Amino acid sequence: MRGEASPALIELATRHGRTSSSSLPLLVWDASLRSPLAASVPPGAAVREVAGSEYEVFAAALADGFGTPRDTADALALPALLDAPDMTAFVLELDGEVVATGFNMLSGDQVGMFNGSVPPRHRGNGYYRALVTARLRHAVGSGARHAFTQTSPVSRPLYASLGFRLAETWTYLSAES
């Protein structure tokens, strides 16, 4: 939900087995407020789009980056999803190894940016920044003027440095896992 849950809503959610609560920031970006995005990619790295025929590459990289089981990542990398109009999966490869993932969904002049992941052993090297800027350039080239995403505390400073700002916080009520 948008914002914080009221005590009455938390009580209702608890009665329905939703006893865990978490919050994520919703960040937004406006292309008209930013200077052109640098096209810098670290040495040895390359950004590319991933088609549905390569879903296994994307799913394996997602599982590695998120630290989740492969079957969970498979649900986010279905070939039909990767090949759908206005949806684009991206990877950043370093010497042939996928070290960052991302997925854009374009709708009109807006792009939602999802499934950004980097395995812990590759974090802090500029790979995700290079991938996010490439995804934003692709989105703007496809007609997007605004972007939105939800981030972890780890990636939020990176998005802020690219001009994303906090729009609001969303609260998720779920069953204990």
The C-alpha torsion from 153 through 55 and 104 to 174, rounded to 10°, is: -50
Question: Token pair of 19, please?
Answer: 């006893």
Q: Which amino acid is at 154?
A: V
- Model's pTM, two decimal places? 0.90
d(CA 135, CA 121): 22
Place of tokens 């609001």: 168
Q: Which amino acid is at 123?
A: R
- What 8-state DSSP symbol labels residue 33? G
Tens of pLDDT along the chain (177 residues)?
898 888 999 899 999 999 888 889 999 999 998 777 777 888 889 999 999 999 999 999 999 999 999 999 999 999 999 999 999 999 999 999 999 999 999 999 999 999 999 999 999 999 999 999 999 999 999 999 999 999 988 899 999 999 999 999 998 999 976
Place of tokens 């009520």: 173
